[in-house]
Amino acid sequence: MSTHPLALAGRRVALAGAAALTATLALASPAAAHVEVEADTPQALAEDVTLTFLSEAESDSAGFTELRVVLPEGIAPEDVTLDEAPKGWKFKATSDGYTVAGPALKAGVDGEHKVKVRQLPDAKELAFKTVETYDDGKISRWIELPTGGEDSEQPAPVLELKAAAPGAKPADPGPSSSPTDETPSPTPSAAEPSTEATGSESAAKAAEDDEGGSTGLVIGGAVVALAVLGGGAWWLVKRRTAASQS
């Protein structure tokens, strides 16, 4: 029984479509896992906000050991504290964010942690670049920022914020906040006196040396004068004695 050419062509098209769909799903599956961030108060300038991060596991053979988060502009590392993390995990501030790390989670278990932020900045959205580390050494970087409406392969978690409440203002910087751009004058240490102090001491010593030299000249001159006067007097007395004897 022969197959009609049109039916054969249709079967080939169907098979090709199924293969293409399978390949597309296979390529998309690694990117299925991602990181999400939520806030209990997703509003600009909101204070004491709890952020929840969920890192979806993408390995069937290894578990998370560390989650590193880079904070967006407007949130300082010292203004973030740990609220909740997997058992045994520790929080550590870094120069641009923080890490939470500890004993490896079971393979396939999502990594979830919560932090409290002193105040959110005045922005429409915040991107939190996140780097995940597994106990087999694998690293997943969810750090790509949205550009031009195009989807990223490994997008950073983004938190959208509502407009700030009426009258809301940025809070005063905390006592541990970074210093301002105005750099204070350095304080000289006791072991290393400042250049100004050294110069003053040198000037004082030079003045003492000059004073001592001047005093020495005066005393020396007086001694010479006395010697001259004494010699003249002796010569005058000797001359008068010789004249009287004549």
- What is the average pLDDT across 187-194? 36
In contact, 115 and 83? CB cutoff 8 Å:
yes
| C-alpha angle 115-117-120 in degrees, rounded to nearest 5 | 135
Per-residue pLDDT tens for 145-189?
978 777 889 999 999 999 999 999 998 876 554 443 333 333 333
Q: What is the pTM of this model?
A: 0.60
**Separation in Å, CA 6 to CA 10, 14, 19, 70:** 6, 12, 20, 58
Supply 240's token pair.
């008068």
| C-alpha angle 40-42-45 in degrees, rounded to nearest 5 | 115
* Beta-bridge partners for 139: 133
- What pLDDT, on a 0 to 100 scale, did the predictor assign at position 147? 80
As a whole-number percent, the residues of the chain with pLDDT over 90 amount to 52
- What is the average pLDDT across 221-229? 47
- What pLDDT, on a 0 to 100 scale, did the predictor assign at position 115? 98
Q: For residue 202, is pLDDT > 60?
A: no
CATH match of 35-160 with 3.50.50.60: no
Q: State the amino acid at position 213 in one-letter form.
A: G
- What pLDDT, on a 0 to 100 scale, did the predictor assign at position 61? 97
Q: In the chain, where are the structural domains located?
A: 35-160
